[in-house]
Amino acid sequence: MTQTTVGATRATSRAAAVRPLGPERWQEAYDLFMAALHVPPTTAERWEAVRGLYVADRVYGAFEGDDLVGTIMSSPQELTLPGGSNAPVAGVSVAGVRNGATRRGHLDRMVRTQILDLAARGEVFAALRPSTAALWHRWGVGPATRTTTVRVDRLRSGVRRELADRRDRARQLSPHSDLHEVLPPIHRRIAACRAGVVSRPDAWWACWDPYAGAPNQIHVAVAGPAAEPSGYVAWYVEYQGGGDVAAARRVLHVLELFADTPATALDLWAHLLHVELVEEIVATGRPLDEDVPLLLTDPRAATVGPVLDELWLRIVDVPTALALRPWAPTAGESVVVEVRDDLVESNAGCYRIGSDGARRVTAPPDLTCPVDQLAALYLGDRPPSRLAAAGRIAVHDAASVARADRLFATGPVPWAGTMF
């Protein structure tokens, strides 16, 4: 998570600098970040969980003289690309500036230092979940995936009759199951099902445990073969209204639902829609192509929205990134895209993209794309025509837009599904 309440820079009265932080100052930096979010210093127990995310040479501090006033770090993770392959990604997190030291350019210096260091090390991608959207475009970071919220009125509708038997294809785990033994292997196994999914190393589970702190008992159902399940859903039920239990409103909150295919997701949703004694189902952070209303006898019983940005991506090494993902098999078609990058200058230039791959060329561009907008195109969140219509990319050859749409097309819409 990143905290980014920083505005226009102004001169400081003391020398400002960005330096790597050694392990002896990591907890101090984390407490500074928490204070920027108006949260008390971390407990010893919490720090033991968080510390695993900190990696040498990936933690930076912003200083005014000898005073630590800002911090940013990244942890090594993996990102699923279009086509199902995985690539290393720097998961940027814990970015903040101390209250009273904002609006002095500290975040700008930290982010620039971090990105240029990643480029110097040959890293290709950085990803983050920023708390403030307006700032990050200036450093070439752009939204790459989006999510929505699904609400189902269970009193108004149930699952369609022809789907009723699918509920039995998912099986509920014993309440005594150790979720940290059962679920991480499933997540790792099915991570390649969708572009945008971010890996969950052991340190992630210790720090961002999605099941810690749930207000009620957690239930889990899995689908697929018993030996190697292909998906799972986790939820809890909230009692609203207080007073007598029989008079309370019961809301089922979906914590997570991961599936390797739409068929597996359908089995898991059918299971959820047959849970008794709940008046509403609420699932936040869901992928945009998960069309739950179509599962219901009354589609109007489901409301979908709002749509929010999720994973933001910084393509640190454009030539390598373009070479890593496949392009739609449109034989004989290509498009020349000019990438503009004011921070990592080696990325700037023209690239011919075709079904046979991508390479740097000296040909005139069909489209001109800032590197932050390339993030929206790269995983397949939006087609080039959508960005062109909004004026986000410049069109030099109108006929190239349709070709670009075909070449950049992917399968399921990208989705990360993970906080970090």
CA 241/CA 227 separation, integer angstroms:
41
How high is the pLDDT of residue 9? 41
Structural element, H or E, at residue 271 = helix 262-272
SS3 4: coil
pTM of the model: 0.93
How high is the pLDDT of residue 303? 98
Helical H segments across 51-163, by residue range: 106-120
How high is the pLDDT of residue 14? 62
Q: Are strands 219-223 and 59-64 parallel, antiparallel or unpaired?
A: unpaired
101 DSSP 8-state letter: S
* DSSP-assigned letters across all residues of 177-234: --HHHHHHHHHHHHGGGSTT-B---HHHHHHH-TTTT-SS--EEEEES-SSS--EEEE
Under a CB-based contact definition with an 8 Å cutoff, are residues 376 and 142 in contact? yes
Q: Which of 100, 104, 92 is nearest to 136 (CA)?
A: 92
How high is the pLDDT of residue 5? 43
How high is the pLDDT of residue 10? 44
CA 269/CA 292 separation, integer angstroms:
8
How high is the pLDDT of residue 65? 94
Q: Is 269 left (phi over 0), alpha (psi -120 to 50) or beta?
A: alpha
Q: Which residue has the tokens 């204070």?
A: 35
pLDDT mean by block of 10 residues, the chain; 420 residues: 46 75 97 95 93 96 97 97 96 96 96 98 97 92 98 96 93 93 93 94 90 89 95 95 78 97 96 95 97 97 97 98 93 94 98 96 98 96 98 98 96 93
Q: Are strands 280-286 and 249-259 parallel, antiparallel or unpaired?
A: parallel
How high is the pLDDT of residue 2? 59
What are the chain's domains? Answer: 16-144 (3.40.630.30), 147-309 (3.40.630.30), 317-408 (3.30.1050.10)
Under a CB-based contact definition with an 8 Å cutoff, are residues 110 and 72 in contact? yes
